Amino acid sequence: MSTTSITGYLQRLGLGQELEPTLDNLRRLHRAHVERIPYETLDFQLGRPVGLDPAESVDRIARRGRGGYCFQLNGAFRLLLAELGYRVTMHRVGVQGTGDQEPVGVNGNHLALTVAGLPTPEVPAGHWLVDVGLGFAFHEPLPLQAGTTVQGPFGYRLASSSAEPGAWRLEHHPVRGFVGADISTRAAGIEEFAAEHVRLSTAPESEFVRLARVQRRDALGTDLLLGRVLTRITAEGERRRELADADEWFGALREVFGLPLDELDAAERRRLWETVDAAHLAWSAASGSV
């Protein structure tokens, strides 16, 4: 990464450049990333090809003011952490959603990170699970050891995977957004996710193509925009409302998610709204609710 890219990335996170590779700073970086860089799939609704190269993803975040989904966000974050001196590794993951019930096992539909070399008395091995590219993401890294961590309204339990020898099993409680995931311990290269990236970003049956999703995590919960429904999820429950028109929808992107989409011209914004609106109406009719 160039010095300009690192500076721009850290500025987007609201952090300075003097960050030693410590656990406290890893937590700061992780919190800032999920709070400021939204999980978003809006290019898929525009039918735009989206690159998988982590350097492109860094540019997308640092210069263009955009977010992304797992392969982009965690790919870019790996580059940043490595530049800052962390021992960071990418891993293949299989995430099981709440709808289609993917079989357990590592199928590579998700990318996660681990960071090594940061021991504490409670985590003597010094390994941490890092994920800034999961919709219902952790707010901070999880200790990569058996046990349960509660962050806001969400709990994450790690244990050995029964479906994949040597892998980790992550379970999400209460179930919201995803049921669980199997995480390989083998190091992976970004090219291993290429075929799945094409499928998830272009296939008509992909959930990311069928319905726009934008999400942002914070210490108390998460904000989720699915189609035209904006939901705030905390330990107290859910507050949701349906956004009435394009002005309200783009206003939520800007104000709630920090996503002004300045790079889109008027025609692109109109086409994005029309695509999102049509998909939302079809989804609402099929599900019988919003």
Q: Is 110 noted as a catalytic residue in this protein?
A: yes
* Statement: the pTM of the whole predicted model exceeds 0.75: yes
Strand order in the sheet with 128-130: 142-143, 128-130, 110-116, 87-97, 178-183, 168-176, 154-160, 147-151
Three-state DSSP at 252 gives helix
Q: Is 131 noted as a catalytic residue in this protein?
A: yes
**Pairing state of beta strands 154-160 and 39-40?**
unpaired
Selected catalytic residue, list 30, 91, 110, 127: 110
Query: Cα angle at 95 between 232 and 109, to 5 degrees?
Result: 110
Q: Using pLDDT thresholds of 50, 70 and 90, give the confidence band for residue 289.
A: low
Helices 246-255, 266-287: axis angle to 10 degrees equals 100
Domains of the chain and CATH, by start: 195-284 (3.30.2140.10)
Q: Using pLDDT thresholds of 50, 70 and 90, give the confidence band for residue 260.
A: very high
Residue 170 CA to chain centroid, in angstroms? 16
Selected catalytic residue, list 131, 139, 197, 280: 131
Lowest mean pLDDT, pick from 27-36, 59-68, 99-108, 256-265: 99-108
Per-residue pLDDT at 104: 81
Q: Using pLDDT thresholds of 50, 70 and 90, give the confidence band for residue 4.
A: confident
Lowest mean pLDDT, pick from 45-49, 96-100, 142-146, 214-218: 96-100
User: Residue 4: which residues within 8 A CB-CB, separation 6 or more?
Assistant: none
Task: Decide if 27 contacts 140 (C-beta within 8 A).
Answer: yes
Which pLDDT tens digit goes with each residue over 97-147? 766 566 788 999 999 999 999 999 999 999 999 999 998 889 999 999 999
Task: Decide if 175 contacts 38 (C-beta within 8 A).
Answer: no
Among all chains, which residue has been given the structure tokens 């010095």? 3
Q: Using pLDDT thresholds of 50, 70 and 90, give the confidence band for residue 290.
A: very low
Three-state DSSP at 278 gives helix
Selected catalytic residue, list 43, 59, 70, 197: 70
Q: Is 223 noted as a catalytic residue in this protein?
A: no
